[in-house]
A and B are shown apart, each in its own frame.
Chain A
Amino acid sequence: MPPKKKGGGKGKASQASKPPTATTEEKATSKDNATADKPPTKEKAKANDSAIGPALPPSSTTATTDPPPATSTTLPETQTILERTRARFTAARPYEAHLIFGPQQQQQSGPLPGKEPGLGGLGDLQPQERSAWLATRIAARIARRPALSATATTVGSATAELARVACGGGAKTIKEVWRIVNEGSVPLRAAGEKQFLGSATGPVSRRIVRWEGLSSQAKGPSAGAGAGKQVPSSSRESQTIAAAEARWERRVRLTCLSAESRCFRAQRDRERRGVCDDRTGERVVVTEQEVVEEKRRRLEIAALRREMSGQGAGSAARGVGKIASDPEWDDVVPVVLEEPEGALASIAYPADYAEAMSYLRAVMKANEHSERCLWLTEYIIKMNASHYTVWLYRAAIIFALKKSIADEIEWLNKIALANLKNYQIWHHRHLLVENHFPSISSDPSAIATFAASERQFLERILAEDTKNYHVWSYRSYLVNKLGLFSDPDELASIERMIDDDVRNNSAWSHRFFLVFSHPDRATPGVAATEPDPKVPPEIVDREVAYAQSKIRLAPQNQSPWNYLRGVLVKGGRKLSEVEGFTEEFVKGLGKGEEEEDVKSTHALDLLAEIYAEQGRKEEADLSLQRLGQKWDRIRFGYWEWRRRCLGMGAAAA
C-alpha cells in the first residue's frame, strides 16, 4: 500500500478488506513463522478439486470386496478439514485409501478410523486390484515426470523410457501397466501425497503408523487448541471447515494490519529523518490521530497473533508486549536479559516485567530523560517498587524535565499506600523534600501548608500501619527539616496515636524526639542517653507525669517505663524521684508467695536500679532475684548478670 495513503482511511479499508491476492498471502505466510506450516490454502485446495474431476474410479465386477468407488461429483458431506481432505483423497486414490483406511471405513465421512486402519495392507486387495494399484503408482510417477532426455523426440518415447527404468522391466511390462491403467480408469492426477500425508514418503506401513498417531490426537474435539505455542497440525486438520475459514479471515486481517503497520513505521521513520513528501514538498508529519490508530492496530495485531497461535498470556516474549506495541517506543531497541549458566536466585519474571526492564536498560544506557521514560519508571514501580536504581533514575528524570516536585509527592502518596512495606518510596520522598524545601524555605505560610498536607498523609498511612519504621523515620526527618518542634499539631497528633494504642513504641520514640530534640531545649552534641542541662525542669516534670499516667493504664507495658527512665536521665534527675510511684506496682517483695504481688516486671526492674542508686544493695539484689526466680524467668541469665554487676550474684551462685 502506498505510504501517502494516510492511516485514517487505512483502518476502515482493511476492516472491510477482501481476501488479498496470492502475493500478499504468501508474504504473510513467510513472515509469520507460526503459521508457515499450514494446511493447503484455498487456491491449492481448489486445484486439487479440479484434479479429481476427470479421475474416475475403477468399475469393478467384484464390487463386494472392491474399494467402493468415490464419485467425483458428489463428495460425502464433510465437517472438518481432515474429513474433507480425506474424502478428496479417497476419491482420487481409491486403492491407497483402501490401504490406509481399511475397506469398510473409507466411504464414511465420520471421525477418523481411530484404531483400525487397513491393517491388512496389500494383502487385503484382490490380485487384480493389487496390480491396478501398482500400475497406478508407476504410471502416475511417469506422468508427473517431464521429458528428461534431450534425445527423446516425443513425450511418449521419453515416458516409455522412464517407465522402463521405473519398473525395471522391459517394454512388455510397460504395456501391461498402461493396459491396467486404461482398463481400470485409474486416476493419475490425484491430490499430492505431501499435501495429505505431510512430507512422509515412506512405505505405506509407516504412513499407517502416522495415521494412528494422528487420529488418537484428534479424538478430542479441540485437542491441542490453545495448549501450546503452535497449534498442532492434528487439531488444525480436525477443526471444522467454518473454523478454518474464520481462521483464514483472521490471517487476511492480520496481513492487512501488518502491512499498514509497516507503512506507519516507514512514515514515522521519514518524519524522524525529516524527509519531505515528493508531491507536496512538505515535511512528513505523523499526526496524533495516526499514532492512536497505530496503537489500536498493534493491539489488534497482538490479539490476532495470540488467537492464531493459541497463545494466552506471556505474549511480551514474542515482542508484542505493551511497550513493543506502542509506536512511541519504535526507535528503542530493547536490551533483553539473558541469564547465563550459573545465574543465582533467578526469578520467574512475569513477561510484562521482563519486557519493561529490557526497555529500561535501553533508555538508561542512552541516559534518556523524557516523558516516556518517566512513564516507564511508573509502569515498573507499579510492578516492583523496590528497585532503588529505578527510583534514582526517576528522580533524575524529574529534575531534568523540571517537573513539579509537589505533583511528584502527590503521585507518590498513592504508590506508598499501595506498597506499605516498601522503603525505597520513603527514600525518594526524602530526596524530593530535600529539593523542594529551598523553594518554600523563605515563606512560613508555604511551609505550614506543606507541613499540614504531609502530616495529613502521614496520619493516613500510619492508620494503615501504625508502626511502619520508614514512615516514622521520614516523619522525624520532616520535623527536623521543616522545624516542626513547636508545632502544637505535631505533638497533638502523637498524643492521639498513643491514646489509640498505648503500646505503640514508635509513637513514644517520636514523642521523645519531639520534646527533647527541640532546638530550644537541646544542647548540640549531647547524646540521647545523656543529661542535658538545657532542658527546662517543667518539661521534665510534664513528661514524667505523662509517662506515669500512661503506665497506670497498662503497667506491664515497657514503652512508657523506658520513656520515664529516659526522661529522668535527660533531665539529670535521680531515678529515686519516682520510687514511690514505682513501688505502687510491687507489693510484699520477698514476703512469701501469698503476699508478694508484682503488677509490672518493669517496675521491679526499675526498683532494683533505684535501690542500687541509693546503695540499698540487699533490696536491689532481692528485686533482681525475684525477677529471675519468678516474675521474669525468661531473662534469668540477664538478672543474674545484673546481680553480678551489683557485686552480689557471685556469692549467691
Chain B
Amino acid sequence: MADEPTLDIDRHLRYWTMCLRSPLPYHYLSSDGNRMALAYFMVNAVAILTPPGSGRDSPIPASDRRSLRQWVLSLQQPGGGFAGSPTLVLPTDSDGQTVDSSLANLPATLFALQLLALLADDGDEGAAAAFDGVDRARTLRWLRRLQRPDGSFGEALKQLPGRGWFVGGGYDMRYCYIAAAVRWILRGDVKEGEPGWVEDFDTDALARYILSSQTYDGGFAGSSQEEPHAGYAYCAIGALALLDRPINGNPQSSGTLVANIRNRRGLIHWLASRQFVYLDPPESQDDDRSDDDDDEENFRLPQRLSDLSLTENLRHVACNGRTNKVADTCYTWWVGAALANLGLGLGSEQGDGVSDGVAPDLLLDRAGARRFLLERMAHRIGGFSKHPGGPPDVYHACFGLTALAVLGASCLA
C-alpha cells in the first residue's frame, strides 16, 4: 500500500550512534544497576538495523568489538556471573579474598552473554570464541544456587549476617526465563564425568513452577496468585521453549513442555486480547499528557462498539501488558514474540484442532501494529518511546525494533 509508513533506518541509526558515542544523560541514573542491559539494548538494536548484506555501516566497527568485549568481561565476578554495572564492581584482591557474592546478578549475566555473542568476531572462528573468557563452570554453579526450593529463580545471592544465604529478587518470571537462557547458552554438550561438567539445576522443578503460574484468565504471572502480565507470559513460554530445546546445539525444540501448558487456548485468548485499537486522544488534551499512565488518555474506549467497525479506526493497533492497561511499545514485542514462540509448541499438538490452520503468530494484526509503532511511537530524533508522544529511551527503542522485526519488517535482521 502506498501510505504504509516505513522505518527511517538512518534516523534510528543516528539515534543509536548518539547513545553509543556519548554518555547517557543522568535520567538514566535509575538504570545504573542495569548498565549491562542498556548496553545490550544498544548493541542489539544496531545489530538489527545493520544486518550483514544490508549495505549499511554499523556504528560499531569490527575493530571496536575487542575493547567492548573486554568491558563486558571486566564485569564478570570471581564467584561466577556478571555484575550489572561497573559502579558496583569491587577491586579484586590478589590474595584471593572473596568478593561480595551479591554483585553478580542474573539478568546482567544473560545480557553479558548476549553482548559477547553480538560482539563476537565474524566467521565461525569468531562465533566459536564468543564466550572465551567466561568462567563457564563457576557461572553455572552460581546459577544453580539461585534456584529456590519451589523451582523458581532469584536474581542475586547474599549472605545475611545470622540468617545464612538468601536468594534475593522476588518471585519474578523474568528470572526463570533468564535462568533457562543462561543454562542453554553455557551448558553445552558436556557429559557427566567429563572435565567442565557441572551439575544441572532442577529443570523439572523450574518447569513445574512455570506451568503452575498460569492464571485463571489464561495469562501468566509471577505466580498463579498474581495478575497476569504479557512480559511474564513471554518469559514463561520462552523459558519452557528453552528447556525444551536440546542443549547439544540442535535448535529444534521438542515442544513437549510448551505443549504442557494447561490452558493453551486460554493463553492464546489472553494474548490475542492484549491488542486493541489505539484511538488518538482529542486534540485539546494534548497539552496535559503529563501523567503518562493515565488510562483515560491512552486506553480510550470508543463511544459505541460499532464505531470500531469503521476501517480508519483500525489503523493503529497497540498492545498492552495487562487487561485494561495502556498501550506501550514494548508489549507489541512481548505479545508478538510470545505468540511466535508459542507456535513452536503448537506444531506438535494434535487433537483439539489448535495445530492446523492459522499459525499463532498471525493472531496479531501485524500491519496495524507496525503502523502504530511507526506513526505513533517513533520519535523524530529516532528511537521509540514508551507512550505516544513521549521521549525515546533505549529500552523502548530497542523493543520497538525487535517488535518490528518479529512483525516481519523485511529491512531488519
Q: Which of B72, B211, B224 has the most CB of A within 10 A?
A: B224
Inside 8 A of A342's CB, which chain B residues have their CB?
A: 64, 66-71
Q: Which of A367, A383, A527, A601 has the most CB of B within 10 A?
A: A527
User: Is the pair B225, A384 in contact by a Cβ cutoff of 8 Å?
Assistant: no
Question: How many A-B pairs fall under 8 Å by CB?
Answer: 282
Query: How many Å lie between the Cα of A423 and that of B29 in the bound state?
Result: 15
Instruction: Please tell me which stretch of B130-138, B140-148, B180-188, B320-328 contacts chain A, meaning at least 4 of its Cβ atoms lie within 8 angstroms of it.
Output: B320-328
Query: How many Å lie between the Cα of A598 and that of B225 in the bound state?
Result: 33
Q: Does B113 contact A (CB under 8 A)?
A: no
Query: How many Å lie between the Cα of A421 and that of B368 in the bound state?
Result: 30
User: Is the pair B305, A598 in contact by a Cβ cutoff of 8 Å?
Assistant: yes
User: Is the pair A337, B357 in contact by a Cβ cutoff of 8 Å?
Assistant: no
Query: How many Å lie between the Cα of A393 and that of B394 in the bound state?
Result: 29
Q: Does A523 contact B (CB under 8 A)?
A: no
Given contacts A349-B26, A634-B277, contact A365 B43 (CB under 8 A): no
Inside 8 A of A196's CB, which chain B residues have their CB?
A: none
Contact among A347, A396, A527 for B159, CB-based, below 8 A = A396
Given contacts A396-B159, A513-B225, contact A348 B170 (CB under 8 A): no
Q: Does A345 contact B (CB under 8 A)?
A: yes
User: A334-362 interface mask toward B, CB cutoff 8 Å, 1 = contact, 0 = none?
Assistant: 01010111111111111001000100110
Query: Smallest CB-CB separation from B93: which chain A residue?
Result: A365
Q: Which of B216, B295, B314 has the most CB of A within 10 A?
A: B216
Query: How many Å lie between the Cα of A470 and that of B174 in the bound state?
Result: 14
User: A543-576 interface mask toward B, CB cutoff 8 Å, 1 = contact, 0 = none?
Assistant: 0000000000000111100110110011000000
Q: Which of B23, B89, B314 has the most CB of A within 10 A?
A: B23
User: Is the pair B357, A650 in contact by a Cβ cutoff of 8 Å?
Assistant: yes
User: Is the pair B214, A384 in contact by a Cβ cutoff of 8 Å?
Assistant: no
User: Is the pair A345, B161 in contact by a Cβ cutoff of 8 Å?
Assistant: no
Contact among B39, B102, B266, B269 for A393, CB-based, below 8 A = B102
Query: Smallest CB-CB separation from A646: which chain B residue?
Result: B353
User: B271-289 interface mask toward A, CB cutoff 8 Å, 1 = contact, 0 = none?
Assistant: 0110111000000000000
Instruction: Give the distance to chain A from B280, nearest Cβ to Cβ, in Å.
Output: 16
Query: Smallest CB-CB separation from B266: which chain A residue?
Result: A529
Q: Which of A360, A389, A527, A557 has the most CB of B within 10 A?
A: A389
Q: Does A369 contact B (CB under 8 A)?
A: yes
Inside 8 A of A465's CB, which chain B residues have their CB?
A: 293
Q: Does A178 contact B (CB under 8 A)?
A: no
Instruction: Give the distance to chain A from B195, nearest Cβ to Cβ, in Å.
Output: 32
Q: Does A644 contact B (CB under 8 A)?
A: yes
- Which size class do A's interface residues fall under? 35 or more
Inside 8 A of A345's CB, which chain B residues have their CB?
A: 19, 24, 28, 35-36, 38-39, 42, 394
User: Is the pair A348, B26 in contact by a Cβ cutoff of 8 Å?
Assistant: yes
User: Is the pair B225, A562 in contact by a Cβ cutoff of 8 Å?
Assistant: no
Q: Does A437 contact B (CB under 8 A)?
A: no
Query: How many Å lie between the Cα of A515 and that of B68 in the bound state?
Result: 52
Contact among A349, A384, A476, A505 for B30, CB-based, below 8 A = A384
User: Is the pair A386, B229 in contact by a Cβ cutoff of 8 Å?
Assistant: no
User: Is the pair A430, B265 in contact by a Cβ cutoff of 8 Å?
Assistant: no
Among B318-345, those with CB < 8 Å from A are: 322-325
Query: How many Å lie between the Cα of A448 and that of B365 in the bound state?
Result: 50
User: Is the pair A389, B275 in contact by a Cβ cutoff of 8 Å?
Assistant: no
Inside 8 A of B155's CB, which chain A residues have their CB?
A: 388
User: Is the pair A364, B90 in contact by a Cβ cutoff of 8 Å?
Assistant: yes
Query: How many Å lie between the Cα of A244 and that of B102 in the bound state?
Result: 54
User: Is the pair B168, A399 in contact by a Cβ cutoff of 8 Å?
Assistant: no
Among A502-544, those with CB < 8 Å from B are: 503-506, 509-510, 512-513, 516-517, 527-530
Instruction: Give the distance to chain B from A43, nearest Cβ to Cβ, in Å.
Output: 47
User: Is the pair A601, B305 in contact by a Cβ cutoff of 8 Å?
Assistant: yes
User: Is the pair B91, A335 in contact by a Cβ cutoff of 8 Å?
Assistant: yes
Q: Does B317 contact A (CB under 8 A)?
A: yes
User: Is the pair B309, A633 in contact by a Cβ cutoff of 8 Å?
Assistant: yes
Instruction: Give the distance to chain B from A509, nearest Cβ to Cβ, in Å.
Output: 4
Query: Smallest CB-CB separation from B265: which chain A residue?
Result: A645
Q: Does B348 contact A (CB under 8 A)?
A: no
Among A569-607, those with CB < 8 Å from B are: 569-570, 598-601
Instruction: Give the distance to chain B from A370, nearest Cβ to Cβ, in Å.
Output: 12
- Which size class do B's interface residues fall under? 35 or more
Q: Does B374 contact A (CB under 8 A)?
A: no
Q: Does A454 contact B (CB under 8 A)?
A: no
Q: Which of A369, A467, A599 has the most CB of B within 10 A?
A: A467
Instruction: Give the distance to chain B from A393, nearest Cβ to Cβ, in Å.
Output: 7
User: Is the pair B353, A644 in contact by a Cβ cutoff of 8 Å?
Assistant: yes
Query: Smallest CB-CB separation from B231: which chain A residue?
Result: A469
User: Is the pair A634, B322 in contact by a Cβ cutoff of 8 Å?
Assistant: no
Instruction: Give the distance to chain A from B136, nearest Cβ to Cβ, in Å.
Output: 22
User: Is the pair B262, A347 in contact by a Cβ cutoff of 8 Å?
Assistant: no
User: B202-213 interface mask toward A, CB cutoff 8 Å, 1 = contact, 0 = none?
Assistant: 000000000110
Inside 8 A of B269's CB, which chain A residues have their CB?
A: 638
Inside 8 A of B266's CB, which chain A residues have their CB?
A: 529
Q: Does B358 contact A (CB under 8 A)?
A: yes
Q: Does B362 contact A (CB under 8 A)?
A: yes
User: Is the pair A634, B100 in contact by a Cβ cutoff of 8 Å?
Assistant: no
Inside 8 A of B156's CB, which chain A residues have their CB?
A: 388-389, 392
Inside 8 A of B211's CB, which chain A residues have their CB?
A: 527
Q: Does B412 contact A (CB under 8 A)?
A: no
Inside 8 A of B64's CB, which chain A residues have their CB?
A: 342
Inside 8 A of B166's CB, which chain A residues have their CB?
A: 392, 395, 431
Q: Does B411 contact A (CB under 8 A)?
A: no
Q: Does B364 contact A (CB under 8 A)?
A: yes
User: Is the pair A570, B354 in contact by a Cβ cutoff of 8 Å?
Assistant: no
User: Is the pair A399, B263 in contact by a Cβ cutoff of 8 Å?
Assistant: no
Query: How many Å lie between the Cα of A431 and that of B156 in the bound state?
Result: 13
Q: Does B222 contact A (CB under 8 A)?
A: yes
Query: How many Å lie between the Cα of A347 and that of B29 in the bound state?
Result: 7
Q: Does B413 contact A (CB under 8 A)?
A: no
Inside 8 A of B38's CB, which chain A residues have their CB?
A: 344-345
Instruction: Give the distance to chain B from A450, nearest Cβ to Cβ, in Å.
Output: 20
Given contacts A426-B170, A637-B362, A641-B357, contact A631 B87 (CB under 8 A): no
User: Is the pair A389, B88 in contact by a Cβ cutoff of 8 Å?
Assistant: yes
Inside 8 A of A637's CB, which chain B residues have their CB?
A: 358, 362-365
User: Is the pair B88, A361 in contact by a Cβ cutoff of 8 Å?
Assistant: yes
User: Is the pair A527, B324 in contact by a Cβ cutoff of 8 Å?
Assistant: no
Query: How many Å lie between the Cα of A348 and that of B83 in the bound state?
Result: 19
Given contacts A388-B105, A562-B217, A638-B272, contact A341 B227 (CB under 8 A): no
Query: How many Å lie between the Cα of A529 and that of B261 in the bound state?
Result: 10
User: Is the pair A357, B357 in contact by a Cβ cutoff of 8 Å?
Assistant: no
Q: Does B32 contact A (CB under 8 A)?
A: yes
Q: Does B86 contact A (CB under 8 A)?
A: yes
Instruction: Give the distance to chain A from B303, nearest Cβ to Cβ, in Å.
Output: 11
User: Is the pair B216, A566 in contact by a Cβ cutoff of 8 Å?
Assistant: yes
Q: Does A611 contact B (CB under 8 A)?
A: no
User: Is the pair A649, B29 in contact by a Cβ cutoff of 8 Å?
Assistant: no
Instruction: Give the distance to chain A from B47, nearest Cβ to Cβ, in Å.
Output: 14
Q: Does A111 contact B (CB under 8 A)?
A: no
Q: Does A480 contact B (CB under 8 A)?
A: yes
Inside 8 A of A631's CB, which chain B residues have their CB?
A: 305-306, 308-309
Q: Does B352 contact A (CB under 8 A)?
A: yes
Inside 8 A of B394's CB, which chain A residues have their CB?
A: 345
Inside 8 A of A387's CB, which chain B residues have their CB?
A: 32-33, 85, 87-88
Q: Does A272 contact B (CB under 8 A)?
A: no
Q: Does A647 contact B (CB under 8 A)?
A: yes
Contact among A361, A389, A472 for B102, CB-based, below 8 A = A389
User: Is the pair A361, B90 in contact by a Cβ cutoff of 8 Å?
Assistant: yes
Q: A346-B24, A399-B162 given. 6 additional CB < 8 A pairs?
A: A339-B86, A387-B87, A470-B170, A473-B171, A506-B322, A634-B314
Contact sample, A vs B, 23 pairs, CB 8 Å cutoff: A340-B74, A342-B67, A342-B71, A344-B35, A344-B43, A344-B72, A345-B39, A361-B91, A364-B90, A389-B100, A396-B161, A467-B322, A476-B223, A506-B227, A506-B322, A529-B218, A558-B324, A565-B216, A634-B275, A641-B268, A645-B352, A646-B353, A650-B357
- The 7 A-B pairs at the shortest CB distance, nearest first, are namely A342-B67, A566-B216, A344-B39, A644-B357, A345-B38, A509-B227, A562-B217
